[in-house]
Structure 1
Amino acid sequence: MDKSFAAEPLLTPGEVAALFRVDPKTVTRWAQAGKLTTVRTLGGHRRFIESEVRELLRSATSDES
């Protein structure tokens, strides 16, 4: 894991999906499309930087209003 992300809280695809009320596979597609930065665990699982996810959530909810 990159040291710049060491202090950042990370979220699982399921946690991100719950915040956006979408399927976890949708979150994976967003990552593949470059909409979200992923960090890989030693086991190869995707994790997402919480601050980036929350910022995307804020911009998505402000676009809807």
Structure 2
Amino acid sequence: MVTRPTETESLLTPAEVAAMFRVDPKTVTRWAKAGRLSAIRTLGGHRRYRESEVRELLGGGGALPTQRSARD
């Protein structure tokens, strides 16, 4: 889904989101492809994520999977 952000809305790169969740940036991309996190595409095709949505998920308000242990 491609939507247009408002002028004042802060957007984050996959690397910034990954650092916040302490996961690999490819994991953030997989979450977006699975529909667990909505992505906005730039004109160049890069994904950006709404900071407000990411912070809500980070605060426990979302349903992102937890990291698997090495035994899984």
**TM-score range for the pair, normalised by the shorter chain length:** 0.7 to 0.9
Give 3-state SS (helix, strand or coil) of 2:58's partner. helix
Amino acid at match of 1:44: G
With normalisation by structure 2, the TM-score equals: 0.76
Moved segments of 4+, more than 3 Å: none
Shift, 1:39, TM fit = 0.4
In 1: Cα distance, 2:23 partner to 2:7 partner: 27
2:31 counterpart of 1:30? yes
- The answer for the alignment partner of 2:69 in structure 1 is none
Following superposition, the deviation at residue 5 of structure 1 comes to: 3.2
Residues 24-52 of structure 1, C-alpha deviation per residue, up to 9 Å, x if partnerless?
A: 00000000011111000010000000000
Unaligned runs of 5+ in 2: 62-72
Question: Alignment length, in residue pairs?
Answer: 60
| Residue of structure 1 equivalent to 2:12 | 11
Q: CA RMSD in A?
A: 1.8
Give the Cα separation in 1 of the matches to 2:12 and 2:6. Answer: 12
- Structure 1 position 20 matched with structure 2 position 21: yes
- Structure 1 unmatched runs, 5+: 61-65
Identity among equivalent positions (%) equals: 68
User: Of Structure 1 and Structure 2, which has the larger fraction of its residues in helix?
Assistant: 1
Q: Is residue 41 of structure 1 aligned with residue 42 of structure 2? A: yes
